[in-house]
Amino acid sequence: MNKDAVEAKPMASLFHPDQVLKISGTDLLCDLDLTNDEVAYLLDLASHVKRAPKDYAQAFAGKSIGMLFEKPSLRTKLTFQLAIGQMGGDSVFCEGPIGVREPLKDIARNLDRWVNGIVARVYAQTTVEELAHWSSVPIINALSDAYHPCQALADVLTIREHFGSLAGRKLAFIGDGNNVAQSLMLTAVRLGMDFALGCPQGYLPDPDVVAQAEGLAAVSGATIQITHDAGTAIDSAHAVYTDVWASMGQEQEAAERKKAFHNYQVNEELFSQARPDAVFMHCLPAKRGEEVTDSVMESSRSVVFEQAENRLHAQKALLLMMLT
Q: Which residues bind ligand NVA (CB under 6 A)?
A: 143, 178-180, 243-244, 247-248, 283
Q: How distant is the alpha carbon of residue 121 from its chain centre? A: 13
Question: Is 113 a catalytic site residue?
Answer: no
Of 143 and 166, the one with the shorter C-beta distance to ligand CP is: 143
Q: Is 311 a catalytic residue?
A: yes
169 is catalytic: no
DSSP 251-295: GGGHHHHHHHTGGG-B-HHHHTTS-TTPEEEE-S---BTTTB-HH
Strands 170-174 and 139-141: unpaired
Site for ligand CP in 57-96 (CB under 6 A): 73-76
Site for ligand CP in 115-144 (CB under 6 A): 143
The span from the CA of 175 to the CA of 202, in Å, is 11
By a kind-dependent CB cut-off of 5 to 8 A, residue 247 interacts, out of ligand CP, ligand NVA, none, with ligand NVA
Minimum separation from the CB atom of position 280 to ligand NVA (A) = 16
Of 148, 160, 169, 313, the active-site residue reads 148
Q: Confirm whether 243 is a catalytic residue.
A: yes
Q: How many CB atoms lie within 10 A of CB 74?
A: 10
- Asked if 175 and 181 count as a contact pair (C-beta separation under 8 A), the reply is yes
179 binds, among ligand NVA, ligand CP, none (CB under 5 to 8 A by kind): ligand NVA
Nearer to ligand NVA, 243 or 290 (CB): 243
284 binds ligand CP (CB under 6 A): yes
What's the chain's Rg over C-alpha atoms?
Answer: 19
Catalytic residues: 121, 148, 151, 243, 283, 311
